[in-house]
Amino acid sequence: MESRLTKQDSFTRVVEVDVPEEELAPHFDAALQKYRKTLRLEGFRKGKVPVALVKKLFGEAIKEEAIDEVVQSVFQEVIEKEDLHPVAPAKLQDVKYEPGVGLHFKAAIEVLPDFELKKYTGLSVEKEVYQVGPEDIDEMLADVQEQMAVMRPVEGQAEEGHFVLADFQQVDEAGLPIIGRKFEDRFFQLDLKNYQELSEQLLGVKAGETRQVQLPVEKEDAGEPTIETYRVTVK
């Protein structure tokens, strides 16, 4: 086997390999015997089909499979020989087999690029210093408490921070339900900071109670938000 390595650019190497016919013959024979052992053909026992018949019927397919294995094996040898460290799968090119001559192929390999290490000592950088105050600690503890909180049913009136499970039914100006505008099992938190309109109207609600609330809804074509009315039943 002969191999040649050329540098295409800072991160690409091209390997060109020639494997003579005499080195390929053992691989072809091994592939033939391997295939013959598992071959089932009418009139012959498994693994007992004559070699000549196997070659006649499946010789080309077996040879192609053997060539693929040789390419992979030889390519790995070249990688180790040249001490290359690929960063991506190689791209095979010009794989050619000529009976009586041998196998020829090329492979483009991406490797770590060449680089020159510049001066890195004695440089000055700004260091960010974080001051942790009591407020930061309280905020972090509150976050941990919220993450570890366990939900339990609450007796009595709903307060800010409580979670509510409810059904929403939109109604028209006459108070009649609008078909197709019922939303069941909506789970939300009474939060005066982020959901002020809804939360203010549901503070003090109890399980089983129904309230009518009005919510502003922004629509793409409307300049001002429109008001929609919902009948909210808390579960």
Residue 150 lies in a domain: no
Residue 41 lies in a domain: yes
Helix axes 51-81, 21-38, angle to 10 degrees: 130
What pLDDT band is residue 44 in, cutting at 50, 70 and 90?
A: confident
189 and 98 within one domain: no
Query: How many angstroms separate the CA atoms of 157 and 154, rounded?
Result: 8
Residue 200 lies in a domain: yes
What pLDDT band is residue 94 in, cutting at 50, 70 and 90?
A: confident
Residue 200, pLDDT score:
95
Q: How many domains does the chain have?
A: 2
**Residue 118 Ramachandran class (φ > 0 left, ψ -120 to 50 alpha, else beta):** beta
Residue 129 lies in a domain: no
User: What's the pLDDT tens digit per position in 46-86?
Assistant: 878 888 887 888 878 888 888 888 888 888 888 888 888 88
- 197: domain CATH number is 3.10.50
Residue 140 lies in a domain: no
Residue 148 lies in a domain: no
105 and 6 within one domain: yes
At which of 49, 78, 110 does a domain end? Answer: 110
Residue 69, pLDDT score:
86
Q: Mean of the pLDDT values across residues 186-209? A: 94
Q: Is it the case that residue 221 has pLDDT exceeding 80?
A: no
Q: Is it the case that residue 171 has pLDDT exceeding 90?
A: yes
172 and 85 within one domain: no
Q: What's the domain range around 228?
A: 157-234
At which of 46, 77, 110 does a domain end? Answer: 110
Q: Are 201 and 216 in contact (CB under 8 A)?
A: no
Q: Mean of the pLDDT values across residues 105-132? A: 87
Phi, psi for 221 (deg, rounded to 5): -90, -10
84 and 10 within one domain: yes
- 49: domain CATH number is 3.30.70.1050
Residue 21 lies in a domain: yes
94 and 35 within one domain: yes
104 and 172 within one domain: no
Residue 36 lies in a domain: yes
Query: How many angstroms separate the CA atoms of 81 and 78, rounded?
Result: 5
88 and 26 within one domain: yes
At which of 93, 110, 127 does a domain end? Answer: 110
User: Which residue is listed with tokens 């060109």?
Assistant: 16
Query: How many angstroms separate the CA atoms of 104 and 83, rounded?
Result: 21
- Residue 31, classed as helix, strand or coil, is helix
Residue 222, pLDDT score:
61
Q: Mean of the pLDDT values across residues 186-200? A: 93
